[in-house]
Chain A
């Protein structure tokens, strides 16, 4: 299996083999972060630009650490969307970065499809660090990487995703990735936060947290963004915790070794109680560590593909 895409835009377009290649590449990079000198020369002389149109600390820092451990030079651009509306278009911004002879743009954008559009217009690589409600491929890959470490394999595992499925790029990328690798996936949310026809993607749908936990090997709890879009119906925080929050009582009825994941940042007392977040089944901080290895793999593979394809190729 050889990686030939210049971009990493989402898991929907990847084959099972491509996903496995990223995971195995990440495995080999994980060791780098345990060394005294946490650096390999894989991307020496390459420039990675983090272009963030949405506030993000953890994803941006994770990508920055990953790029630096590969010896790349990293530039961070944080832009408020409002100023973009008045000024330069996304394509122009991208072309300017390309003209600076950067090699990879890591982009976070509040609009779904923004990374797809940018990649279409550029010769340099684009790594999607989250676009609207669409995809957040490296988050799903690090979730899957962590699961694989814990369970040994993904095929046959039962993973439940709980939270605001409708507005979650993490949920979508996880659904694509997990189903391609043969996992059994259940999504669980209040009815108003379940997007239409999601069952057509091969997942089970429920609004009963007990059902979602019943025979799950792992539960991935999404962040509830109560601060978002007030024009739509949204559950109250207390109501949400009462009906969907992860508590000791609920987990007592689940499998004994159920793995608890969360992409962070956690709303303690809303998505899960503190004792669960800090408890022995939680792998939340391991996810953060694994995120670096997965992002190193992603940056490395797209850079390598571009070299193989030759600059100017637009294959993705």
Chain B
């Protein structure tokens, strides 16, 4: 099967390309990028007026399988991913069972093989059961294919234990993804600590509960020389700490999620549980610092932190509702709407943060349109607007923070391994 994509604005930061070009795809790979490619293609896609970008690499997702298939499955999550232009996604290990041993990772691999519609990558757990008590089978997980380790949802509170884990990760040449939260400081809070917690009468989560743990993790990273990646950066202090750490040469990268640059805590005025996440939506000053961090390169990547929850877990009292939102289907449009339209990033920089940088952080040969690379790409109309609605979402759960909101940027086609994977009916 040969596919020829004609006259799209090709944006490929890996090759510093931003030009109207054709792309020829053969045998699942990109075979040629250039002007006026003539080839006897089986299918020609006219991409005129559209942008052609490498498929997104979302390095922070919760697929819920195995264990919570009522929220999401590998099949529904990857279908949602394709609709959002995402072709590679890193699955966090907080499933049931947690991905902390050989049986669990083998089970996950077989589920992926049977169900995945896109490239699902595996993040193993740091500690057994993600309980922070005992280090799990990290070398075994690495050997079985885990690209990173994390206890995401929790931080390893025990400093000594976490230091040991980093040493093992360093020896294994494995990335450690840090969920930075000191739970003794966040103390069952549900919204940002400050004027919003005061107004709503809810328990607050301080910036301190995040950045103090970032400081600790970076100190241990510096000591051990292990590569760490700070997940879901939400506050100004964290941005500044990472900015300084990078200057000092510490091997740190980080991500933020679309909600932290799109929203701030003022969006919670009516107790919308689809704006309840952990870390929480912070102040307008923090939102501004996140945008600045994206702009100056302190923040390397944008990841969705896709966290599906059923309506039963969200349409309840705010204190009792689960944390988190789905995001695979909206992250690209959120980036265009919140960052490109506001001149925080150019399209090239946005693609870097959504695709190339996470691929590099994870050490996978994705996020590029170089000839020879897997033909994972998205064809996007960057100026078409749409309104996010429950019934339009492919994900099994509908807990989007963007419901009712108008976004710019519609994915027209997603190609995965050289096949048109979205829209599905094409094949």
B317 touches A109 (CB 8 A): yes
Q: Is the C-beta of B319 less than 8 angstroms from some C-beta in chain A?
A: yes
A134 touches B316 (CB 8 A): no
**Stretch of B199-207, B219-227, B324-332 on the interface side:** B199-207
Number of cross-chain contacts by CB at 8 Å:
65
Q: B23 → chain A, closest Cβ, in Å?
A: 48
Q: Find residues 170-198 in chain A having any chain B CB closer than 8 Å to their own CB.
A: 172, 195-198
Contact of A200 among B195, B200, B202 (CB under 8 A): B195
Contact of A89 among B195, B197, B200, B316 (CB under 8 A): B316
Identity of the chain B residue whose Cβ is nearest the Cβ of A131 in the assembled complex: B201
Proximity bits, B313-356, A CB within 8 Å = 1, else 0: 00111111000000000000000000000000000000000000
B271 touches A113 (CB 8 A): yes
Proximity bits, A126-148, B CB within 8 Å = 1, else 0: 00000111110000000000000
B interface majority secondary structure: loop
A-side contacts of B197, CB under 8 Å: 195-196
Identity of the chain A residue whose Cβ is nearest the Cβ of B193 in the assembled complex: A196
Q: Is the C-beta of B198 less than 8 angstroms from some C-beta in chain A?
A: yes
Q: B121 → chain A, closest Cβ, in Å?
A: 37
Q: Is the C-beta of A91 less than 8 angstroms from some C-beta in chain B?
A: yes
Between A111, A120, A169, A172, the greatest number of chain B beta carbons within 10 A of the residue's beta carbon is seen for A111
Query: How far is B193's CA from A195's CA once the two chains are assembled, in angstroms?
Result: 9
B-side contacts of A111, CB under 8 Å: 317-320
Total number of B residues with any Cβ neighbor in A under 8 Å:
19
Q: Find residues 55-80 in chain B having any chain A CB closer than 8 Å to their own CB.
A: none
Q: Is the C-beta of A112 less than 8 angstroms from some C-beta in chain B?
A: yes
B201 touches A134 (CB 8 A): yes
Q: Find residues 263-310 in chain A having any chain B CB closer than 8 Å to their own CB.
A: none
B201 touches A196 (CB 8 A): no
B198 touches A196 (CB 8 A): yes
Q: Is the C-beta of B270 less than 8 angstroms from some C-beta in chain A?
A: yes
B-side contacts of A197, CB under 8 Å: 194-195, 198
A-side contacts of B315, CB under 8 Å: 89, 91, 121
B193 touches A116 (CB 8 A): no
A-side contacts of B200, CB under 8 Å: 112-113, 134
Identity of the chain A residue whose Cβ is nearest the Cβ of B196 in the assembled complex: A197
B317 touches A169 (CB 8 A): no
B201 touches A117 (CB 8 A): no
Q: In the complex where A116-B271, A196-B193 touch, is A12 in contact with B199 (Cβ < 8 A)?
A: yes
Q: B54 → chain A, closest Cβ, in Å?
A: 41
B312 touches A112 (CB 8 A): no
B-side contacts of A116, CB under 8 Å: 270-271
A-side contacts of B195, CB under 8 Å: 196-197, 200
B271 touches A117 (CB 8 A): yes
Between B197, B201, B315, the greatest number of chain A beta carbons within 10 A of the residue's beta carbon is seen for B201
Proximity bits, A195-228, B CB within 8 Å = 1, else 0: 1111011000000000000000000000000000
Query: How far is B197's CA from A89's CA once the two chains are assembled, in angstroms?
Result: 24
A133 touches B202 (CB 8 A): yes
Query: How far is B193's CA from A83's CA once the two chains are assembled, in angstroms?
Result: 30
Query: How far is B319's CA from A145's CA once the two chains are assembled, in angstroms?
Result: 32
A169 touches B194 (CB 8 A): no
Query: How far is B197's CA from A120's CA once the two chains are assembled, in angstroms?
Result: 21
B-side contacts of A12, CB under 8 Å: 199
Proximity bits, B237-280, A CB within 8 Å = 1, else 0: 00000000000000000000000000000000011000000000
Q: Is the C-beta of A32 less than 8 angstroms from some C-beta in chain B?
A: no
Q: Is the C-beta of A114 less than 8 angstroms from some C-beta in chain B?
A: yes
Q: Is the C-beta of A19 less than 8 angstroms from some C-beta in chain B?
A: no
Contact of B201 among A85, A91, A169 (CB under 8 A): A169
Query: How far is B201's CA from A131's CA once the two chains are assembled, in angstroms?
Result: 9
Q: In the complex where A196-B193, A196-B204 touch, is A113 in contact with B317 (Cβ < 8 A)?
A: yes
Q: Find residues 86-131 in chain A having any chain B CB closer than 8 Å to their own CB.
A: 89-91, 109, 111-114, 116-117, 120-121, 131
B194 touches A90 (CB 8 A): no
A195 touches B198 (CB 8 A): yes
B-side contacts of A89, CB under 8 Å: 312, 315-316
Q: A53 → chain B, closest Cβ, in Å?
A: 10
Contact of A196 among B194, B270, B271, B318 (CB under 8 A): B194
Between A12, A89, A196, the greatest number of chain B beta carbons within 10 A of the residue's beta carbon is seen for A196
Between B193, B198, B270, the greatest number of chain A beta carbons within 10 A of the residue's beta carbon is seen for B198
Query: How far is B312's CA from A155's CA once the two chains are assembled, in angstroms?
Result: 46
Query: How far is B320's CA from A201's CA once the two chains are assembled, in angstroms?
Result: 27
Q: B97 → chain A, closest Cβ, in Å?
A: 26
Q: B161 → chain A, closest Cβ, in Å?
A: 25
Q: In the complex where A113-B271, A116-B270, A116-B271 touch, is A198 in contact with B318 (Cβ < 8 A)?
A: no
Q: A7 → chain B, closest Cβ, in Å?
A: 12
**A→B interface (CB under 8 Å):** 12, 85, 89-91, 109, 111-114, 116-117, 120-121, 131-135, 169, 172, 195-198, 200-201
**B→A interface (CB under 8 Å):** 193-195, 197-202, 204, 270-271, 312, 315-320
Interface pairs (6), CB distance under 8 Å: A111-B319, A112-B202, A112-B319, A132-B201, A196-B198, A198-B198
Known: A112-B271, A195-B197, A196-B197. 16 other contacts (CB 8 A): A12-B199, A85-B320, A90-B316, A90-B317, A91-B316, A112-B200, A112-B202, A113-B318, A113-B319, A120-B270, A131-B201, A132-B319, A195-B198, A197-B198, A198-B198, A201-B199
A-B residue pairs, 7 tightest by C-beta: A133-B201, A113-B271, A134-B201, A112-B201, A111-B317, A195-B198, A197-B195
